[in-house]
Structure 1
Amino acid sequence: MSAEPAPRPAGDRPRTPGARVALLVNPSAGAGRGAALGRAATQRLRALGHDVHDVSAADGSAAARAAADAVGATGADRPDALVVVGGDGMVHLGVGAVAHTGVPLGVVPAGTGNDIARAWGLPGDPVAAVDTLDACLRAGWVAPFDAVRVDDPGSAEERPAWVGGVVAAGFDAVVNERANGWRWPRGAARYNLAIARELPVFRPVPYRLVLDGEEWRTEGLLVAVANTGSYGGGMRIAPDATPDDGLLDVVVVTPVSLPRFVRLFPKVYDGTHVDVDAVEVRRARTVEVHVDAGGRHPRRIVAYGDGERLGELPRRFTAVPGAVAVLTPRAA
């Protein structure tokens, strides 16, 4: 595997009274509030004297290319920051664009969960978030946080993806995959229906996990690889995970009966599920997740990171310290 490129230093151009900002908006975030919040953020940042360039695009693939192009600009065209307006999916896109570039990432939370922004110490209120961004841009408050590099352990050529928060690779990922195949219903109802459809038919998965070179074979209902503590709008899947310790928390729910799994599930909202004997938590810098070829399982498992589709297992996840620079008052 090739070595990681050295990050370029943030703020390598002289500071000006206002910053050059590339802004990326998810118009559908927050049940359709994203577009209005994006316009408001643009107007507010411009009123505060910043040079804002909207690089939003029609779909996720185009937005990822636009963000990468903006961050990759040179000289006077290089932004002082990339700012995303949306939920964890937009933060995911932003992390992928700025990882190992030194261009800071700013977030205006506009989704229904905003778990990553919360882990980075950012305000949940969009108006307060814009004013916080202004303060961070002017004062140079930038903090380094870990990101998760994702690649295929069987391919040295594949371009890695990046995750800011939590990877789902079990029941929760299967629910995501099923829900994303439906156009109706919309919003949370679609995921609730997918859960109801999956619960009676899902079977434990025979996993082969490799944690910093040590193999761990286990059956599991759920495997999460966590850089931050929560996902899905406040589910504290890995309550002790922090995005600046260089480690990933690996949470495995071993096979239990359906009634017990249903009783266990609500505990994830306060993090007390990790105290149950069916839940095991380990830590590592690098984690490979395979579906054990020797076991029989009728489903292929597709991993999701920050709620976004990463691809079918196996996948390797590596905590990369300081891979993303974030505009946050934690740096004050």
Structure 2
Amino acid sequence: MPRKLLLMVNPAAGYGKGAKIVGEVEKFLRTNDLVYESFFTKKGQNAKAIVKRRLDESFTDLLVIGGDGTLNDAINGIGDNTQVVVNVISTGTGNDFIKSVDVGSNLLQQLDTLLHGVEKTIDLGVCNERLFHNGVGIGFDGQIVADMKQKKKPLLLWGYGAYLYRVLRILSSYQEKQLSFSIDGKKYTKKVLLLTVANGTTFGGGFVLTPDAKVDDGLLDVCLIERILPWNRFLSLSKLGAGRHGKLEEVSFFKASHVSIEADKKQWMHIDGELLGHPPFEININKKALKVRVRASV
């Protein structure tokens, strides 16, 4: 069956990177005789609904130009249509998804994957009926996303620099809050710096919070970080970046099928880097839920 692509472009992703490269991508599609239709997302627009409406049976592929949040909208628009293959051109500030799924690390590699890659079936998480490809986070990292949503970026800082500024500022002052949750039915009430429920490995553009996570193992990976004194947090930051924080006594890892988080208006939560709101949340794994085109093995 000849391939036909629906091209979804977030022009604002990566502070305008999506808009800058779309012409090059479309030229590549035409040069390689790939049939496509395209649309651009807009702020405040329901991109999920547009994907759901436009992605009819004539399309074999969805090509997403954007960051992790754009991809989250896309997969929720696809829903249970497991025949469509997702292709990714990453233009966000974090691009955490491509750290767990090898689609290539730059535009040339990702275009080659689009043309010559192979299909890989991966799991998706489900949080209160919303799908996620990478993970959800509550506590410290949820507060960072809330802060980015509610406040202007710092002057003279862009992209990942603006994000890292907020990480360091909030890290020094964030107060752990008591959280009640259960993992596969076992209940916990703890003072939590961070609780991440993941399908992928990496968050915040480079923090390997769940280093053992696999996107096709049928399980969620949970990283729990309890109370760490403020001056020790900065010493632990490099371990988070390298995925070596498992040696810290405040850190616990779990493999799970279901995570339940009780109602708490003091806690913020994100899903794939986008603000989700406050608990309660029910989180499950949806096995073999999405086809992604990845680099062919060499």
TM-score > 0.5, shorter chain as reference: yes
Q: Provide the residue aligned with 1:296 in structure 2.
A: none
* C-alpha spacing 1:20/1:324, structure 2 compared with 1 (3 Å): same
Which consecutive segments of 4 or more residues in structure 1 shift more than 6 A?
Answer: none
User: Match for 1:203: what amino acid?
Assistant: Q
Report the 3-state secondary structure (helix = DSSP H, G, I; strand = E; otherwise coil) of the residue aligned with 1:326: strand
Q: Provide the residue aligned with 2:122 in structure 1.
A: 145
1:224, 1:109 → 2: CA distance?
A: 23
The answer to whether the 8 A contact 1:142-1:331 is kept is no
User: Match for 1:252: what amino acid?
Assistant: L
1:147, 1:281 → 2: CA distance?
A: 19
Q: Provide the residue aligned with 1:128 in structure 2.
A: 109
Task: Please identify, of 164-173 and 111-120, the stretch whose mean Cα deviation from structure 2 is larger.
Answer: 111-120
2:19, 2:191 → 1: CA distance?
A: 43
Q: Provide the residue aligned with 2:145 in structure 1.
A: 176
Gaps of 5+ in 2: none
Report the 3-state secondary structure (helix = DSSP H, G, I; strand = E; otherwise coil) of the residue aligned with 1:251: strand
User: Match for 1:62: what amino acid?
Assistant: N
Task: Please identify, of 207-216 and 162-171, the stretch whose mean Cα deviation from structure 2 is larger.
Answer: 207-216
TM-score by length of 1: 0.83
The answer to whether the 8 A contact 2:93-2:159 is kept is no
* C-alpha spacing 1:320/1:331, structure 2 compared with 1 (3 Å): farther
Query: Which of 42, 45, 49 is equivalent to 2:33?
Result: 49
1:286, 1:21 → 2: CA distance?
A: 34
The answer to whether the 8 A contact 2:5-2:62 is kept is yes
Query: Which of 321, 324, 330 is equivalent to 2:287?
Result: 321
Q: Provide the residue aligned with 1:4 in structure 2.
A: none
User: Match for 2:123: what amino acid?
Assistant: D
2:165, 2:99 → 1: CA distance?
A: 27
TM-score by length of 2: 0.92
Deviations 1:75-114 (A, max 9, x none): xxx3111110122122222222224212111101222332
* C-alpha spacing 1:212/1:172, structure 2 compared with 1 (3 Å): same
The answer to whether the 8 A contact 2:149-2:275 is kept is no
- For residue 331 of structure 1, report the CA deviation from its aligned partner: 8.2
Q: Provide the residue aligned with 1:233 in structure 2.
A: 205
User: Match for 1:144: what amino acid?
Assistant: T
Q: Is structure 2 residue 273 aligned with structure 1 residue 307?
A: yes
Query: Which of 251, 276, 281 is equivalent to 1:279?
Result: 251
- For residue 193 of structure 1, report the CA deviation from its aligned partner: 4.1
Query: Which of 235, 251, 258 is equivalent to 2:223?
Result: 251
The answer to whether the 8 A contact 1:170-1:301 is kept is yes
Task: Please identify, of 172-181 and 59-68, the stretch whose mean Cα deviation from structure 2 is larger.
Answer: 59-68
Deviations 1:280-309 (A, max 9, x none): 111101111225x6xxxxx62121011012
The alignment of Structure 1 onto Structure 2 pairs a total of residues equal to 294
1:234, 1:302 → 2: CA distance?
A: 21
Q: Provide the residue aligned with 2:134 in structure 1.
A: 165
Report the 3-state secondary structure (helix = DSSP H, G, I; strand = E; otherwise coil) of the residue aligned with 2:190: strand
2:119, 2:112 → 1: CA distance?
A: 15
- For residue 200 of structure 1, report the CA deviation from its aligned partner: 4.5
Higher strand share: 2
The answer to whether the 8 A contact 2:10-2:42 is kept is no
User: Match for 1:92: what amino acid?
Assistant: N
Note the 1:23-42 alignment, pairs <5 A.
23-42=7-26
- For residue 65 of structure 1, report the CA deviation from its aligned partner: 2.0
Report the 3-state secondary structure (helix = DSSP H, G, I; strand = E; otherwise coil) of the residue aligned with 2:45: helix
The answer to whether the 8 A contact 2:116-2:296 is kept is no
User: Match for 1:214: what amino acid?
Assistant: K
User: Match for 1:169: what amino acid?
Assistant: I
- For residue 29 of structure 1, report the CA deviation from its aligned partner: 2.1
Instruction: Calculate percent identity across the aligned residue pairs.
Output: 25
Report the 3-state secondary structure (helix = DSSP H, G, I; strand = E; otherwise coil) of the residue aligned with 2:46: helix
Report the 3-state secondary structure (helix = DSSP H, G, I; strand = E; otherwise coil) of the residue aligned with 1:55: strand
Task: Please identify, of 230-239 and 57-66, the stretch whose mean Cα deviation from structure 2 is larger.
Answer: 57-66
* C-alpha spacing 1:203/1:118, structure 2 compared with 1 (3 Å): closer
Gaps of 5+ in 1: 1-14, 152-159, 294-298
1:118, 1:49 → 2: CA distance?
A: 30
- For residue 218 of structure 1, report the CA deviation from its aligned partner: 1.8
Deviations 1:23-55 (A, max 9, x none): 011112233221121221122012101111002
The answer to whether the 8 A contact 1:119-1:229 is kept is yes
* C-alpha spacing 1:60/1:227, structure 2 compared with 1 (3 Å): farther
The answer to whether the 8 A contact 2:246-2:253 is kept is yes
Task: Please identify, of 322-331 and 260-269, the stretch whose mean Cα deviation from structure 2 is larger.
Answer: 322-331
The answer to whether the 8 A contact 2:153-2:162 is kept is yes
Q: Provide the residue aligned with 1:208 in structure 2.
A: 180
The answer to whether the 8 A contact 1:161-1:310 is kept is no
Compute the RMSD of aligned alpha carbons. 2.0
The answer to whether the 8 A contact 1:64-1:93 is kept is yes
1:202, 1:165 → 2: CA distance?
A: 24
